[in-house]
């Protein structure tokens, strides 16, 4: 499909392909894996529509970047959005809402058997989703592609973590997020969005988890961090802000964050790590957070440090009527892809 020689980056963006670029998954170097799933979200739903919304909004992006020449020539395409998983997720989301309401209302014993059956069904299907994501990721990696996953809620990238671990070996995970996501099977969901990092830590190749921007967490998560023997390092939003108020620069803080990372880095970006003004419809918004350029500066410094970004994901983008959330999500995705490519020598970062 690619006809990049005749592609004019100054023209109107065409709908139908990611960013309006003339690539399909065969001709692209970077494949975006969409996972439209938000079954276990504990607050607001809608992130299952994130991949489609980002795809639709992406054609509005202008391609040029100050520090990367001709990034549109890289070759980026989104795989087909799996309608089977979207439909199943919609059905299960209705059941999970019923189950969560039962928990929040005190767990009536008369309904326990029915609710436990719902929980078992959801746990079974979310495990199957994880296997699907892992298989898809392994396939694209085996084809020589660089991969980035777009959810969906933050439970979706577990299979992608596993595939990257198998393909690349030992790595560190840089998590940008409002939440620690270190719960143990939150609400009984074995693959809850609130348990993604607990599950990630079961991957033996994951040597370090570095969390940035965390501002909503529980005692259980604090204890896990404290008892991790340095495997989990958390830069809390409050701590970062207070140090900035006292005069420390974001550049210095980025250096401190990056020092904790090994040579190979995977970046997991929950959009709620940003200030909610940039993602007002995300599933679990929390006051505080980053501007988008702060996050991209951090990722750029990871690249400039000589580390390799082996994979990424972007999650929890929930569309709005005015397309704002998807617009921000599409711009975050474009920049992440280009920086990841630069870390692998596929683009040149100035």
Q: pTM above 0.75?
A: yes
Domain that holds residue 119: 4-343
Note the residue count of the chain. Answer: 350
Which pLDDT value is given to residue 2? 66
Binding-site residues: 154, 177, 179, 181, 270, 272
Cα distances (Å, whole numbers) of residue 314 to 106, 311, 320, 335:
34, 11, 17, 11
**Rounded distance between C-alpha atoms, residue 20 and residue 315, angstroms:** 21
Which pLDDT value is given to residue 102? 87
Cβ contacts of residue 307 below 8 Å, gap of 6+? 258, 261, 262, 263, 264, 265, 343
Band the pLDDT of 143: cuts 50, 70, 90: very high
- Indicate if the pLDDT at residue 185 is higher than 70: yes
Q: Please state, for a pLDDT cut of 90, what percent of the chain lies above it.
A: 83
Which pLDDT value is given to residue 21? 95
96 falls within a domain: yes
Report the number of secondary-structure helices (H) and strands (E) in the chain. 10, 8
Binding-site residues for Mn(2+): 154, 177, 179, 181, 270, 272
Rounded to an integer, the average pLDDT of 32-55 is: 91
- Indicate if the pLDDT at residue 77 is higher than 70: yes
349 falls within a domain: no
350 falls within a domain: no
Which pLDDT value is given to residue 112? 87
What is the number of structural domains in the chain? 1
Burial 109-148 (b: 16+ CB within 10 A, else e): eeeeeebeebbeebbebbeebbebbbebbbebbeeebbbb
- Indicate if the pLDDT at residue 342 is higher than 80: yes
- Indicate if the pLDDT at residue 1 is higher than 70: no
261 falls within a domain: yes
Between 320 and 3, whose confidence is greater?
Answer: 320
- Indicate if the pLDDT at residue 41 is higher than 90: no
**Rounded distance between C-alpha atoms, residue 14 and residue 58, angstroms:** 10
The CATH number for 336's domain is 3.40.800.10
Contact 7, 22 (CB under 8 A): yes
* Residue range 83-115, pLDDT digits in tens: 999 999 999 999 988 888 888 888 888 888 898
Which pLDDT value is given to residue 173? 99
160 falls within a domain: yes
Q: What is the mean pLDDT of the chain?
A: 95
Cα distances (Å, whole numbers) of residue 281 to 10, 275, 292:
31, 12, 16
Q: Which 8-state DSSP code applies to residue 79?
A: P
Report the DSSP beta bridge partners of residue 151. 35
Contact 153, 283 (CB under 8 A): yes
Band the pLDDT of 266: cuts 50, 70, 90: very high
47 falls within a domain: yes
Rounded to an integer, the average pLDDT of 276-305 is: 97
Q: Please state, for a pLDDT cut of 70, what percent of the chain lies above it.
A: 99
Ramachandran bin of 294, using left for φ above 0, alpha for ψ from -120 to 50, beta for the remaining angles: alpha
Between 137 and 4, whose confidence is greater?
Answer: 137
* Residue range 193-238, pLDDT digits in tens: 889 999 999 999 999 999 999 999 999 999 999 999 999 999 999 9
Distance, C-alpha 71 to centroid of its chain = 21
- Indicate if the pLDDT at residue 45 is higher than 90: no
Between 288 and 3, whose confidence is greater?
Answer: 288
């Amino acid at each position: 499909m690619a006809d990049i020689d005749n592609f004019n980056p100054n023209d109107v963006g065409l709908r139908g392909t990611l960013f309006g670029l003339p690539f399909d998954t065969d001709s692209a170097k970077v494949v975006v894996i969409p996972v439209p799933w938000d079954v276990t979200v504990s607050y607001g739903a809608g992130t299952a529509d994130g991949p489609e919304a980002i795809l639709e909004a992406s054609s509005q992006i202008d391609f040029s970047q100050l520090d990367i020449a001709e990034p549109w020539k890289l070759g980026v395409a989104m795989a087909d959005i799996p309608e089977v998983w979207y439909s199943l997720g919609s059905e299960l989301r209705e059941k999970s809402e019923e189950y969560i309401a039962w928990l929040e209302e005190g767990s009536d014993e008369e309904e326990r058997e029915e609710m436990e059956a719902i929980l078992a069904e959801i746990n079974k299907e979310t495990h199957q989703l994880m296997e699907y994501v892992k298989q898809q990721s392994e396939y694209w990696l085996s084809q020589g592609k660089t991969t980035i996953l777009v959810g969906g809620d933050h439970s979706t990238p577990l299979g992608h973590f596993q595939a990257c671990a198998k393909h690349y070996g030992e790595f560190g995970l840089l998590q940008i997020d409002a939440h620690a996501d270190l719960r143990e099977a939150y609400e009984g969901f074995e693959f809850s969005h609130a348990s993604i990092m607990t599950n990630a830590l079961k991957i033996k190749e994951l040597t370090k988890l570095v969390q940035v921007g965390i501002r909503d967490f529980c005692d259980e998560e604090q204890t896990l961090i404290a008892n991790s023997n340095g495997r989990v390092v958390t830069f809390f939003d409050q701590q970062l802000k207070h140090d900035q108020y006292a005069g420390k620069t974001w550049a210095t803080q980025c250096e401190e964050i990056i020092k904790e990372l090994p040579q190979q880095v995977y970046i997991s970006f929950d959009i709620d790590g940003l200030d909610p003004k940039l993602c007002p419809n995300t599933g679990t918004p929390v006051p505080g957070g980053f501007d988008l350029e702060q996050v991209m500066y951090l990722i750029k410094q990871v690249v400039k440090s000589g580390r390799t970004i082996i994979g990424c994901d972007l999650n929890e983008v929930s569309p709005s009527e005015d397309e704002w959330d998807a617009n921000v999500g599409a711009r975050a995705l474009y920049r992440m892809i280009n920086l990841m490519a630069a870390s692998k020598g596929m683009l040149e970062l100035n």
